[in-house]
Structure 1
Amino acid sequence: MSNSRCMSLCVHLCDYLFPCVTSAKLWVLCKVWCYDVFQNSL
């Protein structure tokens, strides 16, 4: 449970750091990284 919560926080951080409009590629990479990190640590 804590992992999915961390992952959603991470994803929100991506939204904050890389708004999709300004840097879509970084935004996607950031989210992919979130999923990798928190799914691999399950």
Structure 2
Amino acid sequence: MLGFVIKSEENRGKGGGRSYVWEANMDLNAVLNVREEIEAKSAP
């Protein structure tokens, strides 16, 4: 919804089922750095 990730669907054929592949839509290091900052601020 916010554009951080891209979801694509894979169909594995008859009997293989359907699965989803998620990819980061931006620099992964930037995402991890922001996550660390958020966790540091929310720690007691």
Taking structure 1 as the reference length, what is the TM-score of the superposition? 0.43
- Relative to its length, the structure with more strand (as a share) is 2
Q: Which has the larger radius of gyration?
A: 2
Considering fraction of residues, name the structure with more helix.
1
- Higher normalized contact order (CA 8 Å, seq sep 6+, divided by chain length): 1
